[in-house]
Each structure stands twice: as structure tokens, then as C-alpha cells.
Amino acid sequence: MKAFVIDLSVCNGCYACQIACKDEHVGNDWTPYAKPQPDTGHFWLGIKETVRGTVPKVMVTYVPMLCMHCADAPCMKACKPGAIYKREDGLVIIDPEKCTGCKLCMDVCPYDAIFMNSGLNIAQKCTGCAHLLDDGWEVPRCVDNCPTEALKFGEEKDLKKYIAKAEPITPDVKLKTRVYYLNTPKKWVSGTLYDPKEKEVIAGAKCTLTDLETREAIIDETNAWGDFWFRGLPDNRRFKLKIEKGKKTVTMDSICTDTDRNLGDIALK
Amino acid sequence: MASRKTKDKTVIRALGLGGLLGGSSEGLVDVKDGKIVRVRPFHYDWKYKKEDIKTWKMERNGKVFEQPWKSLPGPFSLAYKKRVYSPNRIKFPMKRVDWDPDGERNPQNRGKSKYVRITWDEATDILAKEIKRIHKAYGPYGILVQGDGHGECMTIHTPHGHSGSLLDKMGGFTQQVRNPDSWEGWYWGSKHVWGQGIQGGMFPAGNIVKDTTEHAEMVLFWGCDPETTPWGFTGQMPSRLTYFWKDAGIDQVYICPDVNYGCAVHADKWIPVLPNTDAALQLAIAYTWIKEGTYNKEYVKTHVVGFDKFKAYVMGEEEDDVPKTPEWASKKCGVPEWTIKALARQFARKVTSIAHYFGGGYVRGPFSHEPGRLEVCLLGMQGLGGPGRHHHQITYFGLPRSNGLSGTFFWNPDLADRLRTPSLTTINAWQKQLIPKTYIHDAIEANEPMTFYGSGAIEVDTTDQFKKYVYPLPKKEGGTEIHMIWSDTPCRTTCWNNGNATELALRNPKIECIVTQHPWMENDTLFSDIILPSNTHMEVGDIVSSIRGGTSIPNVALCDQAIEPVGESKSNFEVVLEVAKKLGMEKAMTGGKTDEDLKKEMFTNMRLDKLTTWKEFREKGYYLYSVADDWEDDSPGLRKFYDDPEKNPLPTPTGKLEFYSEALAKNFPHDRERPPVPKWIEKGPTHDERLSSERAKMFPLILMSNHGRWRVHAQADDIPWTREAPTCKIRGWDGYMYEPCWIHPSEALERGIKHGDIVKVFNERGIVLAGAYVTERIRPNVAYMDHGARVDMIKVGEIDRGGAINTISGSGTSSRNAVGQATTAYLVQVERLSMEEMDRWRREYPEAFEREYDPASGLCVNAWLEGGEK
């Protein structure tokens, strides 16, 4: 069974994968695999980019999203004319000649991976570049274009060491998806500690972040920039932060991880 | 399922857009039924076995970095197909409808009037006649050739300079000198500290990637975006390298006003400095080191001259001067005092290199030579050249040397003497009458001769900066004002200083004829009288060396023609040949050689005949260079100078790092903008663009301009697929795709601006429309727009809808005696554009709004054709 592995820790957001899909499918007719994709507006593979944090603690996360080629594909079940089928290698295909454009598949896909081609009145999505695989290619175009090997493709059994570390991607639904994500974004809390009198950052301060629900505490120490970083935090939890250095302490209550939190430059008086 | 035929043939292409002296970002192009089906990375093992090529690897902390076996092109290279088939392609020769070479020329209508189709025969007849007429009336220097700069990667059919080759054989021409357009501060500044260098950067810079990998503890990405600028030149090698450095435990600190695309994914620390205030930050670092005694005193004693004068300035020991404390700097550069001190201490404590690629905002603003010089001083204070202490143009220089290549500088073996003549115009000032590119608009409008110091040509000695030039030359030397322009470089309005002044200058009646050869109907092309359709690399065969640093495996390839030319277009070489034919100069241009002859000649010029045979090269279609056997022995960067400065002097007058430049003191004793010791320049006669300026009351934001993420300068603004990226274009409420202007949420709130609003970015020099991109990726006090969007004039010389931000950049050069461009870090205001104002413009300038427009790709050639495309 074919599978994708996407390592978000090395996705640099270059969009070469998104463009590969367009280069392969816009203006090219690969019937019976797929009819041409419209020039713009379809993202059979689309990058979702998120700017996280506030000045000066800001980063960008890029997530390539595509058809998950689910083992239990709900689109197949929903398709009345039976246009959606699974190949022996596990790739899920919408037969462009059987599709009637009823959009039922679009309604049931939790990943919004199916697009309506209104010109041709058919639903379209990622084919895993099956036409190329059948012509001897080893990987689809998006994977070939990826400069950092963030995207991988192959037999599920050959990708086991990655799949073992895979994490669910939003929305987390149990459909036995065949696109596996590594290093998915987790919330963080950060800030910079400084001495307002000396106008110096404070390194080596003990920072304790306590989950107000579980009372679990995580400890970090400010680095040479005066920065502390709590990474890998769960979503939508409330925390209390205590920072100590010598006899001085500062506490901050009710830090919510509904979003990534830059607590700014914090004065330790 | 029966498999489909997915291609008819495959050809190799250099997909980079750096152009000029060689290729990069190689790819494979699949063609089917005479059309491009796909463009994809080059897998080097196509015709070679991996074991036949010797490759390199580097290690640190158990992590390994190896040469990838495929090319790593950027996204616009991989979308090349859309450039070839762009609705903006010029398909046949055209003449401006109200330009009559035998009657009224109507120069005042340039940029406004439309065009009619003419035949190649008519076009070349007119052009030959005009050349002869100008030569007779004014002499050969009456024609300005704009034939330089970046572009597609070709050798024989190189996009620039062929017109110069022709006119050179007919008595010469006035040369637009191609000035630095990404390394101004190093060229006009750093060269006075460490000598000539390549483009002003550190030189030699061989083998520093390995040395930094093995020894550095921290790399400062100072105004550097390894995820943007390299794309146009060699692709994404720096991305892989920086991920590897992170794995290997090397700290990566980004010092820049924006969360640039490298900062977005690689930064361990972001220090958001105000645009063009790096000099203040650098001085405060020097202050901290001197105060705390944390610089390399031994090295300074033996490797530096003028440290006392530098120290006196930094510590405020001079009369009427202040100590450059972190507190002082914080007010200038907007970085908290405590973070400045932390940076200074980390820089002193850790083995540190500074990385750039080409300069973005950092070295391209007013007085850019000051941060350019000061960073060399900082590196010098910590033992520049020592293990892990280098100045990087990241991967562009410093990757392992290949077997058979003397360096990694575009060409094998040497640059200037092996070039085909057209490319000379890009690197040398090789004609007699010269105009720096930064002065073109001024030169056209000037009524008196202009003087300037330094031609600004890429490959000239530092001493050229002390040479006084005059335009026009005295009459007895053949001097004349220019009266005709022949351009294959029609991007001045969007890529250089004060585009609005350029637009107006191009309407000057002194300029009787403007001819442009270009594949796309864009920018300065819209101001032409005659337009000749040149074609893209896909439509012509060539031989291209991809050996620029950062290429995965250096190589030379035969790029066979992929598709037939679009419309009646011809290669830039062929375009000039057509004109040459009418002037009886065809043989003089080709030397009687066929295209295949020329390829063989280049094969020998590249000294490939020493490494392989033409037959094998022809069969395989490419040659791969192995890494040199002894590459690990290559001395990294300035190591020899570091080890023994007496035996290995720098190419400065004293042979040392000159923190005080006697040459500057002697040649420009009264220059307060580029004094002998690098300084903080608040303002000067040339620029008054800081937040402290009176002007900031009206224009309170500093406009920062970087190299485009989705373009290479003016190239590739028309790709529908990159334009879908949220940071590429923003759809306005009128359906137009606007160039984004980044502003911080706090600045947006103050102005009632919401993300996606149409805004006007303006100062005294004009108005540019943009789409508001409200983001935490830019610090407050700044408006950020990449340069190079195609101009789309609402009112010529005043209002631009295309987002060409350089139209409102200042006219002034880097400083009084430095003719670099200063096209970032100037004052603007940003306001939400009201529907009423837009409606007023619609009424006043209806033709600007009636032009055909395709939101997906933008501007269309049909908009400029009388009666649409016939």
C-alpha cells in the first residue's frame, strides 16, 4: 500500500509541492486518471501556513494538506454513481468519466481535499500522480519537487520507521489515513526576562510552568538571551508561570494555550 | 489500467533567473505534442552512475551533510511553463501608434499610447535607419545601451548585451553601467576595509562552509534570508544547509526588521531591528566589547590599522561626540538595551560567523556602506579568518572546489577573458561614455554635464571609486547627450531608484527613439517606440554552465531547444542579428559560425575539452564535475591572512583591515556621509529618511524593501501559481491582485486598516497601491514591500497600481560619492484607500482601468495593442 510521510520540521514553505501538482495537472489531460485541473483555485495539494506568536517571538508553520487516501474513505461510500474507487496500491481515485459533479464526496471529506471543477462539472482531487506511477515513476510530482525531503512517498511497509512516529493532523478522525505527519505543530509559551534597573537580560532563572488542571509542572531555565521556551504544550490549557532568580520572583496566572503565547519582555524586580 | 504516454522527449534546462554569466537551478523539461508538459528537478544520475562522480560530505556532532543528487530549484523555476505561455508574452514586433520616425514622435505619450503590429522587416528597417540617423546627427555615443543585469540562464543567447556587441563594432555606444543591485554596502563600504573582494564581500571565501560547519557555535543571519534570495540563483541548497546546522547544534540568530522566510523556520532568536539602523547596533556591540575588553586585542594589534581612531569614535572620545552605548543605540535601532548587550556578549563568547546571501534591506539603503564596513570591523575585532569566523554569502561562496574548476565563480576557468562579448556589459564598464544605472533618469534630464566618482561596474578596482567621470564626455572625445535608447533590460522603473522620475525622464523629447527587445510587455517596455519580441530559454538551444556556488552537483549542460518559439519571437541574439543584417553587420556578429559551432567554441572556452570529449558530452547532454581530491586542504576564507598578515596581506593600501581608510580621507576629505572611519549617519545632503526627520511627521513609517520571495527582481511576477501564495498577492475588493504591504497589527489598528484592504503607500514622490498584509512578521514603525512588482500606472510618474514600490524610492544614491542605489529604508505613510478616491481616479484616468487584466497572471499584452490582439 502506498503512503505519504510529511515531516513538518523540515518544511520550509517553498510551495514547490503545491506548484508541482499544478504543473502536472493544469492544462494536461490524464484521463482516465484525471482531467485537467483549473489554472487556479484548486489545491489538490495545498499549503496551509500559520504565523505564530507576536513580535519578537514569531515563527511560521507550513502544513501541506492533500487527499489522505483513507483506507476507509468516506468519499467512496458517499459517491452514488460509484465513480470513486481505490486502486490496488491504495490510492483513491475519482474516475473523471463517471463523476456526475453531485458534490456528495466534498460534503463528507473531513480534510476538504476534494475540489469542484465547475467548467467540467466534476469533482477532482489528488491522484497520487497514479498516471506517472504507472509509467514508471517512483514518487508523485510533489514529492519529487520537495527540496528538503519533507515529503516522502513509498510502500507503507518501507516507511515504517517514520510511520511509527507519526501524529494525527487536524481534524483528528479515524479513517486510517495514508498520509502520515511528523512533528506536527504544538503550542508554546515564551518570553524574555530582564533586570529593569541594570538593563540586562537575566540568564539562568528558573521558570516553572504549571498546568492548572493536572498540576503537572514543567521547568525551564532562561538562556543567554534571557529567553525561556516551553514547547510541545497541549492546546487550550491554562497554566501558571513562576520565574525565580535569587530572591526575586515574578508570577503570571492564567496563561492559555488557545494560541502560542509570547509573554513579552518581563521585568524581574 | 493502461498507462498513459506522459511525454515525448526530455531536455535539460538551467531554470535559474540570475542569468548573465551562467546557469543554475537545473531542471528537466518534459515535452509532449510540441508543448511543455512539466518542469521538474534534475536528477544527476540520469546518464551518470553515482559511483563515477566523487562527491563531498561534511560532519559536525555526528550529523552529516552531503551533496544532494538532485537539483533544488525554487518554485518560480519549477513554474517556468507559465512564464513561457504567459498572456503577457509579446508575440510579434510592434510600433507605438503615435510614434512616426518621419514625423511626430510624441514622446509625451510614452507609457500611455498603445501599439500596432508591424513585420520584422518593417521593424528592422526602421531601427537600422534610426541607428544610422543618430550616428550621423550626434555620433555613436548618441545611443544608450541598457544591456545588463539578471535574466534567464543562457550563454550564446544570453538575454543581455547583444545590441552592445553590434554597436561596439560600429563605433561604440553610451553604456549604462550595471551597478551593484544587491550588495551596495559591501561594494561601496566593505571594500575600503578589506580590499577588493568579489562584489565587496569577503574574498577569498573558499571552503568556509566546511570550516563554519566544523567550528562555528553561532551564525548571525544579519539581514539575510536564506529561504528567498538564493532561489533565483541556485535554488534551495541554503535551506538544507541551515536545517543541517540546526541539527548539528549551531545557533541561528536573525537580525532583521521582518520575520523573513528563513527566520520563519530556522531562527533560534529573532532580533527585530529598525530598517537601516544596523550601524547603531553594530557600534553598540563594538562599545560593549571595548568596555568589557572582550575583543581579540592581539589580532587587532597585528591585523588592523586605525583601531585607535575607530575606538575614539565608538567610545565618544572625539569632541562633540557621544559614546555609542547600548542605551544610545537602542533609541536609534529599536532593540531593547538588554538584548543589545546579550547579543554583544554572545557574539564575543561564541565562535561566530555572519551570513548573508545577497543583501535585502540590510545593505541597500541610504549610507549602506556604513553597516557594510562596520560588520567587517566587528568580525575583525573577533579574529576574522580564524576557525568558524567568516563572512558568508551562504553557499554562494565557500562550498567545496570541484575538480577542473579553479573556483566556483560562474565560469571555468576565469571570468572576464572567457566571456562572450555581450556579457561584458553586465560586469565591466568597457565603453568610453558611461552612465551609472542609478543616474540614468538624471542624465536624461540634465542640462549640464554631470560628474560622479566611480562607474560602479562590478569588476573594477576599489580605486575606481576615486576616479572622476563626466557625462557627456567632451565633444572632442566624441561626447554627446544620448538621443536613443536600445534596451534588453526594461526594468529600471521597478528595480532601480526613483521609478517615477524614470517614467517621466523616458518622456523627455531629447530621447527620439526607444527600442526594447523583451519577451514580456512590462515595466519600461511600456515606454518604448519599437518593441521586438525576444523569446525564452525554452525556445532556443544553448550550452549552459551551472557551477555557481550552491548548485548540488556543478555541471555543464547542453540545453536543446524544448519548444518552437512562441509567435514570431526570436532569441535576444537572433533579434540583434536581424537588425545587423539590415546594417550589413551579420557576419561581423556571428564570425560566420553556426549555433553548433558557437556551442563547441564555448565547450572549449569552458575547458571542458580537458575533462571530456565533445562526442561524449553531446551524447550524455551534460558533464558532472567531481569534487577535487584535495578539497579538504583548501585554506578556508581569510585563514592565511589570519595566520600571517605580513606574508598574506589583504588587497588594501596597508594590507591590513582598515578601520580607518586613509584613501577615503585623502580623496574625500569633506565627505561627511562616508567618512574615513565608519560611523552612524543620521542624515546628510543625500538622504533624510530616518524617524528623527521632520519628514517623518508626514511619513511616519520606514519602508523596507527586500528581494522578492516570489520574484527575482522584476522577473516572474506573472506566475498564477505563485500568486496564489498568501504572501505573493492579495486580492482587493475590486478583484485586482495587489502586491502585499506588510504592517504590524498596531500600525494597522491606528490607521483603521484591515488585512486585505487596498492601501496607498506614499510620500512626496508618489503613490503606490498595495494590499494590506497585517502581520506579526514585521515590527512596528515599518511598512514592508518587496521591490520588482510590474508597474501598472494609473498616472505616469505619480500613481502606480501594480505595487512597484521603487517608483517612490529616493533619487539619491548610497551617498554623495557612492553611486549605489538606495531603494530601501525611506519614509512613507500608509493609508486605507477609500472607494471615493479610487472612483475619482477611475474618472480621471479611465484608460488605466480599462486595460485588459487577468487576475490570475496580472498584466496582459492585449491591453497595449490597438484593437486587441490581431
Q: What is the DSSP pairing of strand B782-784 with strand B701-704?
A: parallel
Number of H helices, E strands in chain A: 6, 17
Which residues are CB-neighbours of B121 under 8 A, at least 6 positions away? none
Are residues B778 and B791 in contact, defined by beta-carbon separation less than 8 angstroms? no
- Interchain proximity A28–B37, CB inside 8 Å: yes
pLDDT band at B273 (very low <50, low <70, confident <90, very high): very high
- Nearest chain B residue to A52, by CA: B776
Assign domain A2-182 to a CATH class: alpha beta
Helix ranges (H only) for B606-744 are 614-620, 639-643, 662-667
- Residue A201 pLDDT grade (very low, low, confident, very high; cuts 50, 70, 90): very high
Q: What are B460's three cell numbers?
A: 573594477
- In eight-state DSSP terms, residue B524 is G
**Amino acid present at B45:** D
CA–CA distance, B346 with A226 (Å, rounded to integer):
12
User: For residue A6, is pLDDT > 80?
Assistant: yes
Closest residue in chain B to residue A61, using alpha carbons only:
B265
Peptide bond into B204 cis (omega under 30): yes
Phi, psi dihedrals of residue B665, rounded to the nearest 5°: -60, -40
Domains belonging to chain B, first-starting first, are 94-178+423-535+571-591 (3.40.50.740), 184-402+657-667 (3.40.228.10), 694-864 (2.40.40.20)
Cβ-count burial of B751 within 10 angstroms (0-12 exposed, 13-18 middle, 19+ buried)?
Answer: middle
* B163: closest CA of chain A, how far (Å): 35
Residues of A in contact with B227 (CB under 8 A): 12-14
Q: What is each CA distance from B659 to B378, B663, B816, B829, in whole angstroms?
A: 10, 12, 21, 37
pLDDT in tens, B566-610: 999 999 999 999 999 999 999 999 999 999 999 999 898 888 999
Please state the CATH superfamily assignment of the domain spanning residues A187-267 in this structure: Immunoglobulins (2.60.40.10)
**3-class DSSP state of B298:** helix
- DSSP annotation string for B783-843: EE--S-PPP-EEETTTEESS--GGGGS-S-EEETTEEEE--SSEEEEEEEPPHHHHHHHHH
* DSSP symbol at B201: S
Concatenated DSSP letters for B57-77? EEEETTEEEE--SB----HHH
Phi, psi of B353 (to 5 degrees): -110, 155
Residues B548, B356, B219: CA angle, nearest 5 degrees: 120
What's the gap between Cα A51 and its chain centre? Answer: 13
Q: Are the C-beta atoms of residues B686 and B812 closer than 8 Å to each other?
A: yes
Q: Report percent pLDDT > 90 for chain B.
A: 92
**Calpha distance B121→B622 (Å, rounded):** 38
Contact B459, B447 (CB under 8 A): no
Which of B237, B239, B338, B774 best probes binding to A when mutated, by most A CB atoms within 10 angstroms?
A: B338
pLDDT band at B2 (very low <50, low <70, confident <90, very high): low
Q: How far apart are CA A63 and CA A49, in angstroms?
A: 6
**Who among A54, A148, A195 is closest to B243 (CB)?**
A148
- pLDDT tens column, A28-77: 999 999 999 999 999 999 999 999 999 999 999 999 999 999 999 999 99
- The predicted structure's pLDDT at residue B22: 80
What is the pLDDT, as a whole number, of residue B199?
Answer: 83
Mean pLDDT of chain B: 95
Q: What is the distance in angstroms between the Cα of A7 and the nearest Cα belonging to chain B?
A: 13
How confident is the model over B419-455, as pLDDT tens digits? 678 888 888 899 999 999 999 999 999 999 999 999 9
If phi > 0 it is left, if psi is from -120 to 50 it is alpha, else beta; for residue B716 that is left
The Cβ-side half-sphere exposure at B519, using a 13 Å CA radius, reads 26
**pLDDT of residue B281 exceeding 70:** yes
Give me the pLDDT at residue B1, please. Answer: 55
pTM higher than the cut 0.80: yes
**By C-alpha distance, which of B429, B462, B261, B282 is closest to B363?**
B282
Å between A248 CA and nearest CA of chain B = 18
- Confidence bin at B481 (pLDDT 50/70/90): very high
CB B425 within 8 A of CB B175: yes
Measured CA to CA in angstroms, residue B470 lies from B164, B341, B502, B843 at distances of 21, 47, 20, 45
Residues with Cβ within 8 Å of A216's Cβ and at least 6 positions away in sequence, in order, are A210
| Subunit contact A19:B75, Cβ cutoff 8 A | yes
CB contact A204 to B (< 8 Å): no
Quick: pLDDT tens for B46-75. 999 999 999 999 999 999 999 999 999 999
Q: How confident is the model at residue B407 (pLDDT cuts 50, 70, 90)?
A: low
Q: Convert the pLDDT of each residue in B707-751 to its tens digit.
A: 999 999 999 999 999 999 999 999 999 999 999 999 999 999 999
pLDDT in tens, B340-388: 999 999 999 999 999 999 877 899 999 999 999 999 999 999 999 999 9
| A89 interfacial to chain B (CB closer than 8 Å) | no
User: Between chains, do B1 and A135 touch, taking CB under 8 Å as contact?
Assistant: no
DSSP state of A91: -
**Residues ≥6 apart with Cβ < 8 Å to A88:** none
**Strand segments (E) across B188-329:** 218-222, 251-255, 269-271, 304-305
User: If we measure between CA atoms, which residue out of B613, B611, B609 comes closest to residue B626?
Assistant: B611
Question: Phi/psi zone of residue B498: left (φ > 0), alpha (ψ -120 to 50 degrees), beta?
Answer: left
Cβ contact B588:B362 at 8 Å: no
* Interchain proximity A39–B856, CB inside 8 Å: yes
By CA distance, what is B709's nearest residue in A?
A14
Peptide bond into B140 cis (omega under 30): no
d(CA B483, CA B475): 15
pLDDT of residue B3 exceeding 80, the answer is no
Nearest by CB to B337, which of A147, A199, A227?
A: A199
Say yes or no for a CB contact (<8 Å) between B338 and A201.
yes
Asked if B23 and B557 touch (Cβ cutoff 8 Å), the reply is yes
In B385-406, which positions are buried (b, 16+ CB within 10 angstroms) versus exposed (e)? Answer: bbebbbbbbbbbbbbbbbebbe
pLDDT per residue as tens digits for the range B236-271: 999 999 999 999 999 999 999 999 999 999 999 999
Whether the CB of A264 is below 8 Å from some CB of chain B: the reply is no
Mutate to test the interface with B, among A7, A8, A14, A54 (most CBs of B within 10 A): A14
pLDDT in tens, A119-157: 999 999 999 999 999 999 999 999 999 999 999 999 999
* Predicted local confidence at residue B413, as pLDDT: 46
- Cis? peptide before A36, omega within 30° of 0: no
Q: What residue segments make up the domains of chain A, in order of their start?
A: 2-182, 187-267
> Between A and B, how many CB-CB pairs are < 8 A?
158
pLDDT at B410: 53
- Residue B536 burial (C-beta neighbours within 10 Å; 0-12, 13-18, 19+): buried
Neighbours of A37 (CB within 10 A): 23
CA distance A63 to A169: 9
Q: How many CA atoms lie within 13 A of B520 on its CB side?
A: 28
Q: Which residue of B has its CA nearest to A46?
A: B725
pLDDT of A125? 98
ipTM of the complex: 0.97
- B578-602 burial: b if 16+ Cβ within 10 Å, else e: bbbebbebbeebeeeeebeebbbeb
The mean predicted confidence, pLDDT, of chain A is 97
B-proximal residues of A, 134-193, CB under 8 Å? 134-135, 141, 144-145, 147-148, 192
Q: Which three cell numbers stand for residue B577?
A: 542579428
Measured distance between the N- and C-terminal CA atoms of chain B, rounded to whole angstroms:
44
Q: What pLDDT band is residue B415 in, cutting at 50, 70 and 90?
A: low
Percentage of chain A with pLDDT > 70? 100
Residue carrying C-alpha cell 572546489: B401
Rounded to whole angstroms, the Cα distance separating B194 from B187 reads: 11
Residues 6 or more apart whose CB falls under 8 angstroms from that of A6 comprise A63, A64, A150, A151, A152, A179, A180, A181, A182
Total number of residues shown for chain B: 870
Rg value, chain B, Cα: 26
User: What's the length of chain A?
Assistant: 269
Q: At what angle do helices B237-247 and B208-215 cross, to 10 degrees?
A: 20
Q: What proportion of chain A, given as a percentage, has pLDDT over 90? A: 96
